[in-house]
Amino acid sequence: MKLLRVIITLFSITLANASSFNGSDILANDNAGKNMSNSVNPHVAFYSIKADEIRATFIPYGARLTHLLVKDRKGNPQDVIVGYDKGDAYINDTETVHSYFDAVVGRYANRIKKGTFEIDDETYHVPKNENNGTNTLHGGNIGYDQRNWTVISYNESSITFMLEDVGYEDFPGNVITYATYSVKANKKPSTLTTRLVSIPLDGATPIMLSNHIYWNLNAFTDARDPTVLNDILSMPYSNRYIKTDKYLVPVGDISLVQYREGTDFTTPIDLGTNIKEADGVCGPKCTGLDTAFILDRPRYSNPESTDLVILKLQSNKTGIKMEMKTNQQSLQIYSCDGQDGTIPVKRSQQHGNGTTYLEQYGCVVIEPQQWIDGINNLQWGQNEFQVYGVDTQPAVNFALYEFSSIE
């Protein structure tokens, strides 16, 4: 039964992608492609997919997006995500600052209070890897972002990675996950689609994956102001957010967004205005956001029948606008308060005479996921969407990003 479950799911994914792995690298012939060099380590070798006006590049390490080029208002390609030029740099990152740049995070994204949870009256403990052993972040000491995924499907416009999680980090049971990225641009807007499908093979287990993408739609074109503070963000269905303690772990309360608290994005507002008001929202001595916003709109019975735009982000500098749709019920928004100007941005994003660095507020992270630590807050009624087993449907995280330009 377990084998049949895997075969059927893999077969359906393969059909959906209609692609095959040919082992070749189709790196871009633009500035981003010219400045990237592959490592001898196959886990950080680059794979690129493209359509007319969009190009994305990945490495198997963390099933990670490394470059995303879309057209600005002048028709020039701009790289709109933060990262590194060389694949090996991502390994060094996880061994030092551990930024989680643009990776798939799991088996359980975000935080688990005290690294413990209960399923079917049995208590489980997973590694507590944040705040000096206070809680679990993004799956533990070695989460999905540090795993070497396998490329199982690859063509010009789509790539699929696979990861076999054999009880990693003391989570119960075994899980197989497929991460598929695809691009499309035969008609505007250009789109990037992410699809994470996780299948439990034996027993019940918590599953909550997310894509941890660092965005800068300005693409650092203005070296004098490399931040996203002037970018306009709106989340029309985010009327509530999850309250957290000083460690960013939920305390069990749900709050309404408030303008004077810097959490109200129900109407378009520049990030800088709200960040200035958000003193302490992202933890002690922190001004900014690291917040789980709830999406107050109906759930989708079909993960890919997402028709509502739940987030809009636009840069007045480049004219690039991004609209996002997802089947998830929450968005974790992090305003990059912790960036300190020590990491140079990629060569594809160096536009001045000197070197531009990733400064504080130089990016915004948007993580589509379910409710943070829902497995420890049963009063929220989220277990159905966070605990999966052989008798449930797979866990599916679907997101669609549409790119266009404004004048």
Provide the annotated active-site residues.
212, 367
- Report CA-CA distances (Å) from 285 to 98, 246, 278, 281: 21, 10, 11, 9
CA dist 231 and 322 (Å) reads 11
* Residues 390, 392, 398: CA angle, nearest 5 degrees: 115
CA dist 249 and 300 (Å) reads 27
Residue 119 is encoded by which pair of tokens? Answer: 């399923």
CA dist 335 and 71 (Å) reads 24
Residue where the block lists tokens 């060389």 = 86
Q: Are 336 and 365 in contact (CB under 8 A)?
A: yes
Q: Are 347 and 85 in contact (CB under 8 A)?
A: yes
User: DSSP letters of 146-188?
Assistant: GSB-EEEEEETTEEEEEEEEESGGG-SSEEEEEEEEEEE-SSS
Q: Are 282 and 244 in contact (CB under 8 A)?
A: no
Taking alpha carbons only, the member of 400, 235, 394 closest to residue 326 is 400
